[in-house]
Amino acid sequence: MMTVTSRSAEAEVEPLPEELESAQAKLVYLCLRQFENGATVDQIQSQVGITKLALHSLLRSLSGKGYVRCEDGCYYPVRSD
């Protein structure tokens, strides 16, 4: 027997920044939200399946635009509060 679990209708989901245009940028940003203690490039790649070359380019772009920060080799999403 399979059980389906769904989130409560009242649970708040933080929206993506509207300025993120590419599907890959959105995917990487969403992926980073899953990691409370940051994520390495290897961890991100294993989740999203984007080549490291493309991933490094995306992370540089997201960092330059202020959506992602990097500390000690780990990437974190920058939340707009």
Tens-place pLDDT, residues 9-24: 455 667 888 888 889 9
| Per-residue pLDDT at 27 | 92
User: How far, in Å, are 5, 6, 23, 29, 32 from residue 47 at the CA level?
Assistant: 22, 21, 15, 12, 10
CATH number for 23-77: choose from 1.10.220.150, 1.10.1060.10, 1.10.10.10, 1.20.120.1200. 1.10.10.10
Angle, CA of 77, 12 and 24, to the nearest 5°: 40
Phi, psi of 76 (to 5 degrees): -135, 145
Instruction: Give residue limits of the domains in the chain.
Output: 23-77
| Per-residue pLDDT at 18 | 80
